[in-house]
Amino acid sequence: MPVIDLIIRIKNGYMSKKNIVVSPYSKFREAVVKKLLSLHYISNYNVSGEIKKTIEIGLKYEDKDSFFTDVKIFSTPGRRVYLPYKDIKSVKGGMGHAIISSSKGILTDKEARKSQVGGELLFHIW
């Protein structure tokens, strides 16, 4: 599943104190990266390439500490996890975010509950 690869690349980049992580491009990955950018887990991103596109993701640090503590992946290619909006719980007492793929695009747990839309629970990030 492409989103798992993307998230693990970002996590490994933070663990090895890199400034930029490069990932293959897809519209779905770009949507997830846009959501991470709006949640301030990354500093920026750039799509490059003509035929074979890649996404360069700038990682964000404050006093050599990353803005990304950990991630827990729920949906895998062999096991998809779907939730109605009523069953979507907050992450770490509201300190983290659940990322959900829904019919309205990539949403956080708060946005999904507010819009009253469920979907596939991709991962928790904090």
Whether the predicted pLDDT of 67 surpasses 90? no
Mean pLDDT of the chain: 94
Q: What is the mean pLDDT of residues 87-100?
A: 93
If asked whether residues 17 and 32 sit together in one domain, one would say yes
Whether the predicted pLDDT of 65 surpasses 90? no
If asked whether residues 81 and 56 sit together in one domain, one would say no
If asked whether residues 61 and 78 sit together in one domain, one would say no
What is the count of structural domains for the chain?
Answer: 2
If asked whether residues 33 and 58 sit together in one domain, one would say yes
Segments forming the whole domain that contains residue 96: 71-125
**Does an H or E element contain 116, and which?**
none
If asked whether residues 52 and 83 sit together in one domain, one would say no
Whether the predicted pLDDT of 24 surpasses 80? yes
If asked whether residues 109 and 60 sit together in one domain, one would say no
Q: Residue 54 has what pLDDT?
A: 97
Whether the predicted pLDDT of 68 surpasses 90? no
Q: Residue 45 has what pLDDT?
A: 97
Task: Establish how many alpha carbons lie within 13 A of residue 56's alpha carbon, considering only the half-sphere containing its beta carbon.
Answer: 7
Q: Which residues, in sequence order, are CB contacts of 41 under 8 Å at separation 6+?
A: 10, 60, 67, 68, 125
Q: What is the mean pLDDT of residues 9-30?
A: 95
